[in-house]
Amino acid sequence: MRLSEFNIFEIVDISTGTRQGGFGEGDLLFEEQEGKIKALLVPGNRTRAGFFSYNESMQIPWENIRKIGQDLIIVESGQTLY
C-alpha cells in the first residue's frame, strides 16, 4: 500500500468509539536509526482562517494502531497525543 492511498482512511478510536477524523493529508513519522514507523501524523480540522490552515495536528503512536482496514484505521487512545 502507498502512502497516497491513505487519503481516504477514517480514524476511529476503539476505546471511546469516536471518529477522530480522516488521515487526509497526513504523514508518517519514522525512527531514523532503525527506519521503523514511529507514528501517524494527522492534520487537525481546517480552520476558517484559510484553505491551508489547520488546527493542531494529532500524533498517533504506531503501537496504538490496532488495525488498518480497506478504508478505516482503528486506534486505541491510550497514548494518542493531540
pLDDT digit string, tens, across residues 21-80: 777 777 888 999 998 999 988 876 544 444 454 456 778 899 999 998 888 889 997 644
C-alpha cell recorded at residue 14: 476503539
Q: What is the pTM of this model?
A: 0.68
- Does residue 45 contact residue 21 with C-beta atoms inside 8 Å? yes
Q: What is the pLDDT of residue 80?
A: 45
Q: What is the pLDDT of residue 53?
A: 47
Q: What is the pLDDT of residue 27?
A: 82
Q: What is the pLDDT of residue 3?
A: 65
Q: What is the pLDDT of residue 20?
A: 75
Tell me if residue 61 falls in helix, strand or coil. strand
